[in-house]
Structure 1
Amino acid sequence: MSNKLLLRRAAVLGAGVMGAQIAAHLTNAGVDTVLFDLPTKEGDPNGVVTKAIANLAKLSPAPLADKALAERIVAANYETGLELLKDCDLIIEAIAERMDWKQDLYKKIAPFVPAHTVLASNTSGLGINKLAEVLPEEMRHRFCGVHFFNPPRYMHLAELIPARTTDAAVLESLEAFLTTTLGKGVVYAKDTPNFIGNRIGVFSMLAAMHHTEQFGLGFDTVDALTGPAVGRPKSATYRTADVVGLDTMAHVIKTMADTLPEDPWHQYFQAPKWLAALIEKGALGQKTGAGFYTKKGKDILVLDLKAQDFRVSAGELDADVATLLKEKDPAKKFAALRASENPQAKFLWACFRDTFHYSAYHLEAIADTARDVDFAIRWGYGWSLGPFETWQAAGWKQVAEWIADDIVKDLAMSNAPLPDWVFDGRDGVHGTAGSYSPGRNAMVPRSGNPVYARQRFPDALVGEKFSQGRTVYENDGVRMWVDEGDDIAVVSFKTKLHTVNDHVLNGLQEAIAIAERDFRGLVIWQPKEPFSAGADLSGALGLLQAGDVKGFEAMVANFQKTSQRIKYAQVPVVAAVRGLALGGGCEFQMHAAKTVLALESYIGLVEAGVGLLPAGGGLKELAVRASEAAGPGGDVFAQLKTAFESVAMGKVSTSAFEARSLKLARESDVVVFNAFELLHVARQQARALSESGYRPPLPARRIQVAGDVGIATFKMMLVNMLEGRFISPHDYEIASRIATVLCGGEVDRGTLVDEEWLIRLEREHFVALAQMPKTQERIGHMLKTGKPLRN
């Protein structure tokens, strides 16, 4: 059996929130998917599923990368649709968390499941071996658990839980499918209650709840302490509980209490009194409008236990604690936390200590290596470092001593001893040789599954180092590098948020010249998101305020020259985009021979928001594409409408697919689901273009434009918006100029122009707008607040 899952069709059983979203993400990935649920009592027997599919469009964040994909999901029910399972190569069961219901369903579907099909249960904590017991003998080697985190499109983690009978080849092929096709980070978990992510993640929330009471802190203060201040998501502890649902949270805690009677921390596996009281009142968090938090008008209120009422949420960090948390050296930070008498610092040390203690104590039982625990918490709970990484970074031996000391003094939540391996002289659990496995008592390297050869820079753990390649060229704006023996070079920006300044522009031009001479292709790729937040506004504003219009105009001309250099390079330049690609960042990828987009690419020409129009060749490129799409003598205006709206409204795509429909990406651009595979795919695209005898496009010298009639038609739309007060007079000014450039200026409809003509128009209107006081106000406001000003 090869390690390839040939997936023509998949089925998802259960059209609840999770099942429907898993079906949506399979469909995003181009997998033909059937979604099943119970038959409806009357009318269309697939009514339950049809309703669930319609509901996908209402969810936020959106489960579908393109709303039109909803109609691709096939609706079915367990009475009349089971024959459809005979064409499925993968079946994911995602019904309610009840052992008896799941087992009954398996018995029902077994006669329809083909001999090669993989069956996986998306359970968040039920026993996989127990579930497997009801399966016919010949199905057991193709059954396992796969636990997606919610929401499945965005959460990187997928836990893979083998049963004792699962075939290793089945797991390996499923892992490869989850990684490349669905873009997941896969962690293998042992068959223990709640697996890894929720076992450690929910415990860390219970510890925070316990210490909230112990140190008498407000819920909003705890959220301020357990959010971005310690490298965790903004939703922190109590906001997360509100989002998950307090009833769901209580259910998970009860599952821990029922299934882990021997756990030394068992006494804490109960919902605190105030959590139970909220649930009894029907305050279940976000879905009911109130939980720990509620909204009143524009104010966010938080529950105050002493007053038994809601008060305005302040959530202030104590100034001393805030300073302490800014310390860059983790060892100094933890020493200060432990030594402090401040209740907020004591709270934080206690939470870290108990989570470290719990993770080390249970590591051998729940996971193969420490790496699995750290990745599960990072990818499933959004922490910037997992518990073991945090401990290792803070100084393994010293922190271990402190924990042991607190256990002896009865300060820790449990007096269970730390395992012996913690004190065997080690300095941590991660290193260049791999990560520690207590079960094997060895450092275990990363997985040898061939799918990981596609990740040049996998998500690195503390203590791991990956070669950065050989530097070919570097200036203050960019670094161009290559891997030994490779003929495709890579260029990355060094600026903050990868914004574009003169150093970046000149560096890119130099990198292209080197690539033409010494390499077969060039990839523009950033080691971290975003791809690029656009032009460096502060530099531009400086030139304007100094009255240096010539310098400003030269900068714009250099921007356009760089875009054209990308487009007409003698070797293919491929842009590898993930995260934000705004303004100039969007324009660079528009000029590349090809763009490879991560699914989560948020692309937009947003210059209107700062009172400008795109002038890095973006409008020129949209006009060229409209002319090509219309064909000789065709209707160019019709081709420009979407592009005009995208630019004038400063729209940003919410996915790579949407970037195509906004006309900011091409139909031929490639979409990649796993951001860690982006560089690999971009290099392969550059190599394929080179191998097929790449030549840049011929200069566009006969571009048909919409001209004065096009401009007049766009202005009519704008006048209506101005009169209805949907836009300000300055918005009208900007949008009119965008229309003028897109339509090729005040010339007759159907006039043929060249690229130089359009580039000059872009530059003239850009410089004119930039000198207007209202535009300079907008730029200043954006630099100060990060938000657009509508003046």
Structure 2
Amino acid sequence: MGSAIAAHLANVGIPCLLLDLEGLAAKGIARLKETKPSPLYDPSFITRIRAGDLDRDAALLSECDWVIEAVSEKMDVKHSVWSLIDSAWRPGMIVSSNTSGLSINEVTSVCGEACRRNAMVTHFFNPPRYMKLLEIVPCRETDPHAVAEVARFCQERLGKGVVMAKDTPNFIANRIGTYAMLATLKAMEKHGLTVEEVDAVTGPLLGRPKSATFRTLDMVGLDTFLHVCRNVRENVTDPLEAAAFAAPEIVEVLVSKGWIGEKSGGGFYRKNNAEKGKDRIQVLDPVTMTYGSRSKVSSPALEAAKLARGTSGKLQALLEAAEHDRLAAFARDVMEATLCYSAEKLGEIADTAYEIDQAMRWGFNWEEGPFETWDALGVGETAARLEARGIAVPAPVASMLAKEASTFYIKKTGSLFHYSKGHYKYVEENKEELSLSVLRDRGKKIFTADGASLIDLGDDVACLEFHSPHNAIGPGVLAAIRQASEEVASNWRGLVLANEGRNFCVGANLMLLLMEAENGEWEEIDLIIREFQMSMKTLRVMPRPVVAAPHRMTLGGGVEACLPADRILFSAETYFGLVETGVGLIPAGGGCLASAVMAQERAEAAGTDDVTSPLSQLFETIAMAKVSESGHHARRLGYWRANDAVIVREESRIAEAKSAVLELDRRGYAVPEADRRVAVGGREAATVLKLAVSAMRRGGYVSDHDVRIAGKLAGVLSGGDVPAGTVVREQHLLDLEREAFLSLCGEPLTQARMRQMLATGKPLRN
């Protein structure tokens, strides 16, 4: 965990000293290179971490501004390390523990007062790069100014979602999350459910991650889970609460066998590597303690819940079926137990419902926190249902209802207020952030079309937001792009392309393309591609600056929507790539044109007119359907342009894009050339690109159809059958894109790839 925290500090440009027992720090750094998914945004960032030995190099601690302790969760070990830190402490140094639940007051009891005034918990959730939550817990003596500075730094520089917690066992997220797991195991036993049945219910149907209960436990480690349970059990004063955290027998049995989850090769699930061409994942039968094949889980209640809209709709569907469906009854019991416990802990583990909800969203990836769920189901209605079932209504809920407050949250003119200690408090807005949902609530929508909306960001900057299913680009979104371009060109200073969906854009509407191809509607496909190309060109030549701010999955057409922008501000977690070859096609919305232009620009920057070398990198990236593993990694794949940048704090991404638009406008924006001339590699470059593919075919790495697709791609990127260095107009490249795309659409093997992707989400290599 220490090396993973160091990796994330290195990700944002902070040099780190990693100290451990002799030799272990160097080994920890070496493991970072092999860990998947990578803890680093870019492999080169590992040079920002320096290894040292704790015994030999402890004096170097005094040179550090922030010392983070991440040793084992044993108080005697922590005391020995904190005594060492205390001896090296100097004024201005912040010291924190990454403990997941031990008392910071007890941890720092071996330190002097000066150190304690600058000490706190900074609990990074694992893995630190990917998990947003960071819980801060001050000591009794901690200077509030130090807490505020650390919180600000962790939010703004590290991109974390910071929650203030109290010095109670397991703090917020692990306290609630562990209880929810235990309540799930208890309800599983009560209703006689299997492992697969529990996971079928406790994933997305309850607004939880797909890993649900048992896959999550396997990832966390069953031994770690028992440790967290024990920490609460041994440190709470209420005997009933301590009993609720008793170790489940099934988990103890598995741990005694060494079956502690993924790190041991199996827990509730394991992979049977002896199976070939089948489902190799086996599941535990808790009765026989043997592994067997997984079975599909279904019931009328589950099917009805799947069809309901949103998490609250799914929960309501399960509640309505609870009296006649055992899976729904199980879901009700888990839900009610979790809601009640969360409400009972309000004020004890955190001051506000808002902090608890944020912790569960960020730390356990719940779609809704427990108090948001109370509101969604109706606080009064849920309390009445609990009473009817003989369950005590938690005191904070009863008190709130007695004061005629019916929800934990209310919205007024787009601002959020949360209920706390008898009245509603305003949730402070960060002035460096812009929320499209808040702006919509405040009436800042300029227009809404089929699949997209234009939002006023203020200061005469507009934002085009996709909101089609999966933010896929279809005819409605393309029309909205053209309408937005016309509107912004006439009345605004510039345009931001961004949204707040789960992903920026997963590409074009593949289902529509497949339907047209299977029906032989070639003219219709040709029209769709022409409209796509025209829409992207409209963005590129707009007489106002355009800044794209993609996040998470940005694939195929989503990339092609970003490349016309004057600047791309990648979220740090942006997975960016032209992946059309995975469905048997090539980019045809201007992606090949943009790649040819980037190759020309890189050749010019290198002082040569030979585009073959820069084109080869882009060709390999596109032909292999490579996707960046971060915003920074997009540079290694060849998608980066001179003015592009990475934004670590995702919440500030849209505000930063707006600022970039205003900066480009202030400089005096030059309207781009409408029909660019591009120097292409021609026949010679195409031959070089195709030779590389032929070598891969001989090695058995690609299929004949892969070779065919790559050949089409090479021909387009190199500008067709022309001599090297020929200068062509951009429309020539767009025509080549469209022709190659159409020809591949007619291939049965390509259509098979498209069907596979739509059915399974996975590529077919035929």
TM-score range, shorter chain: over 0.9
2:337 matches 1:354 = yes
Q: Matches of 1:668 and 1:205 in 2, distance apart?
A: 47
Deviates more, 1:261-270 or 1:607-616: 261-270
Q: Once structures 1 and 2 are overlaid, which stretch shifts more, 264-273 or 389-398? A: 264-273
* Structure 1 residue 547 displacement after superposition: 3.7
- Greater Cα shift, 553-562 or 118-127: 553-562
Deviations 1:15-54 (A, max 9, x none): xxx111111111111112221112x2xxxxxx21111011
The 8 Å contact of residues 330 and 394 in structure 1, kept in 2 or not, is answered as no
Cα offsets for 1:732-786 (capped at 9, x unmatched): 1110111111122222223333323322222222222223333233333433443
Residue equivalent to 1:3? none
Give the equivalent residue in structure 2 for 1:57: 33
CA contact (8 A) 1:479 1:493 kept: yes
Residue in structure 2 matched with residue 712 of structure 1 by the alignment: 687
What is the CA deviation profile of residues 98-156 of structure 1, one whole-angstrom value per residue up to 9, with x for unaligned ones? 22322222221234333112211111111122223333222322211111111111111
Return closer, same or farther for 1:724/1:382 CA change in 2, 3 Å cut-off. same
Matched, 1:68 2:51: no
Identity %: 36
Name 1:44's counterpart in structure 2: none
Verify the 8 A CA contact 1:364 1:437 in the aligned structure 2.
no
Give the whole-Å Cα distance in 1 for the aligned partners of 2:735 and 2:315.
56
Q: How many matched pairs?
A: 752
- 3-state SS of 1:364 partner: coil
Q: Answer yes or no: is 1:660 the counterpart of 2:635.
A: yes
Shifted more, 21-30 versus 503-512: the winner is 503-512
Q: 1:68 to 1:360 in 2, by over 3 A?
A: same
* 1:95 equivalenced with 2:79 (yes/no): no
Provide, for residues 245-304 of structure 1, a one-character-per-residue CA deviation record: whole Å limited to 9, x for no partner.
111111111111111132532213221222111111111111111212222234322221
C-alpha contact (below 8 Å) 1:590/1:665 kept by paired residues:
no
Match of residue 320 from structure 2: 336
- Asked if 1:529 is matched to 2:502, the reply is yes
Are residues 1:455 and 2:439 paired?
no
The equivalent of 2:284 in structure 1 is: 303
Deviation at residue 233 of structure 1 after TM alignment: 1.0
Aligned match of 1:316: 297
Report if aligned partners of 1:708, 1:743 keep a CA contact under 8 Å in 2.
yes
Q: Following superposition of structure 1 onto structure 2, how do residues 437-476 of structure 1 map, counting pairs within 5 Å? A: 440-447=421-428, 452-457=430-435, 467=441, 469-476=443-450
Equivalence map 1:119-134=2 (5 Å): 119-134=95-110
Question: Residue deviations 1:436-480, cap 9 Å, x none?
Answer: 565x333222246xxx2222229x8xxx99635423233324311
Partner Cα distance (1:237, 1:562) in 2: 45
Choose 472-481 or 585-594, whichever is displaced more. Answer: 472-481
State the distance in 2 between where 1:734 and 1:333 align: 47
Q: Residues of 1 paired with 2:268 and 2:476: CA distance?
A: 49
Quote the offset at 1:177 in angstroms. Answer: 1.6
Choose the corresponding residue for 1:375, options 358, 371, 378: 358
Change in 2 beyond 3 A, CA 1:546/1:401: closer
C-alpha contact 2:439 2:445 (8 A) present in aligned 1: no
Q: Look up the equivalent residue of 1:519 and give its one-letter code.
A: W
Q: Superposition pairs for residues 682-693 of structure 1, below 5 Å?
A: 682-693=657-668
For residues 11-90 of structure 1, what are the structure 2 equivalents within 5 Å? 18-38=1-21, 40=22, 47-90=23-66
Code of the residue aligned with 1:570 in structure 2: it is P
3-state secondary structure, aligned to 1:453: coil
Instruction: Specify the alignment match of 1:203 in structure 2.
Output: 179
The structure-2 alpha-carbon separation of the partners of 1:112 and 1:467, relative to structure 1 and needing over 3 Å to count, comes to same
- Partner of residue 566, structure 1: 539
- Aligned residues of 1:596 and 1:671 also touching (Cα < 8 A): yes
**1:428 corresponding residue in structure 2:** 407
Residue of structure 2 equivalent to 1:274: 250
Amino acid of the residue matched to residue 513 of structure 1?
Answer: E
110-119 vs 364-373, which deviates more? 110-119
Q: Distance in 2 between matches of 1:345 and 1:473?
A: 41
2: CA distance, partners of 1:343 / 1:658: 47
Letter in 2 for 1:453: K
Distance in 2, matches of 1:702 and 1:500, equals 28
> Is 1:255 the counterpart of 2:231 in the alignment?
yes
Structure 1 residue 719 displacement after superposition: 1.7
Please, which moves more after superposition, 513-522 or 398-407? 398-407
Q: Aligned partners of 1:579, 1:593: CA distance in 2, in Å?
A: 20
In 1, the alpha carbon distance for the partners of 2:199 and 2:515 equals 39
Letter paired with 1:144:
M
CA distance in 2, matches of 1:481, 1:442: 32
Flag the 1:400–1:81 CA change in 2: closer, same or farther, 3 A.
same
Q: Is the 8 A contact 1:617 1:759 kept in 2?
A: yes
- Which one of 472, 479, 483 corresponds to residue 453 of structure 2? 479
* Equivalent residues of 2:407, 2:419 under 8 A apart: no
Q: 1:538 aligns with which of 511, 516, 519?
A: 511
Cα distance change on mapping 1:316 and 1:783 into 2, 3 Å: closer
Residue type of the alignment partner of 2:433: Q
Report the secondary structure of 2:473's partner residue.
Answer: coil
User: For the Cα contact (< 8 Å) 2:201–2:302, is it kept in 1?
Assistant: no
Q: Residue 13 of structure 1 corresponds to which residue in structure 2?
A: none
Displacement, 1:494? 3.3
Instruction: Indicate the residue corresponding to 2:622 in structure 1.
Output: 647
CA contact (8 A) 1:32 1:73 kept: yes
Deviations 1:290-323 (Å, cap 9, x if unpaired)? 2122222343222213323222222514333442
Partner secondary structure for residue 282 of structure 2: strand
Deviation readout 1:495-524 (Å, 9 max, x if unpaired)? 211222223223212211221211111001
> Hey, what's the Cα distance between the residues in 2 that align with 1:77 and 1:697?
56
Question: Aligned with 2:347: secondary structure?
Answer: helix
Structure 2 regions of 5+ residues with no counterpart? none
1:147-158 to 2 correspondences below 5 Å: 147-158=123-134
Correspondence 1:790 to 2:765? yes
Distance in 2 (alpha carbons) for counterparts of 1:469 and 1:418: 35
Aligned equivalents of 1:688, 1:786: Cα separation in 2: 40
Select between 84-93 and 709-718 the one with higher mean Cα deviation. Answer: 84-93
TM-score, normalised relative to structure 2: 0.93
Partners of 1:330 and 1:393 within 8 A in 2: no
The 3 A distance-change label for structure 1 pair 101 and 607 is: same
RMSD of aligned C-alpha atoms?
2.4
> Could you tell me how far 1:173 is from its partner in structure 2?
2.0
- Greater CA drift, 494-503 or 362-371: 494-503
CA distance 1:733–1:416, shift in 2 (3 Å)? closer
User: Could you tell me which of 553, 569, 582 is aligned with 1:580?
Assistant: 553
Distance 2:299 2:517 in 1: 41
